[in-house]
A = this chain, B = another copy of it.
Amino acid sequence: MVNLYIALLHYPVCNKDGRVVTTSVTNMDIHDISRTARTYGVQRFYIVTPVMKQRELVDKILDHWRKGYGASYNPLRKEAFEIVDVKESLDAVIEDVSGREERKIQVVVTSAGPRGECLRFDEFRDKLRDGSDSYLIVFGTGWGIAEEVMTRADFLLESIRGPGAYNHLPVRAAVAVTLDRLAGIH
C-alpha cells in the first residue's frame, strides 16, 4: 500500500452535542493505530492537533520508542512508530504527503453514520490497487469529523456496519476494520 496514508484528527471534530471542539491526543491511540497501520502497510500515520503542547508530548512518546529505552526494549514498537508523524492541521498533512508523492492526493473522510453518496470499500480497494492516485484517509476522534472537513473531501467512505442497529466502534477499531477491508489478505 505505497499509496495509502491515514490521519487521526483532533480538530476540527464534533463533541456529543455536535459543537466543534479540539479533543486530546491519547497514548493508546498512538500505540494501537501505529501498530495497525504498520501491519496493513500504511505509508504514514499522521496525528493532527493544533495544540502545541500536545504535539510536543507526542514527539516525546515517539522519541522514547524510536530512540530511547523503548527502542531496545521493544524493536517491534520502534518499527511501528517509524511511520508516525504529528502535524498541526490537515493542510499541513496534505502538504507533507505532497512532498513525498508524485501522484495526485485524494482525501477520503470517514463517518459512522451513512450520509450521502459513498465510496464503497470494494471500489476503494480497486482504486488503491490501480495505483494511479495516492489516498489520505481521515478518521475523526470525539463524535466525528466536523462538517467543514467533510465537505472539502474528495470521497466519503462507506460506513462500517455490523449485523444490528448498534454502530459505535471506537476509532481504534474503525481504523483496524477499514484497513483490513482495504489491505488485508482475505
Contacts and interface: CB of A to CB of B under 8 A. Distances in A.
A57 to B, nearest CB: 18
Tallying the copies of this chain within the complex gives 2
Contacts of A177: 176-177, 180, 184
Nearest to A76: B168
A161 B173 contact: no
Contacts of A41: 162-164
Contact of A184 (B1, B76, B160, B175): B160
A168 B39 contact: yes
A1 B166 CA distance: 13
**Secondary structure of the A contact surface, majority rule:** helix
Nearest to A121: B186
B183 A36 contact: no
Contacts of A175: 173
A41 B162 CA distance: 7
Interface string A8-51: 00000000000000000000100110011011110000000000
A185 interface: yes
Given A80-B168, A172-B172, A173-B35, A180 B183 contact: no
6 contacts: A35-B170, A39-B162, A39-B166, A40-B162, A41-B162, A163-B183
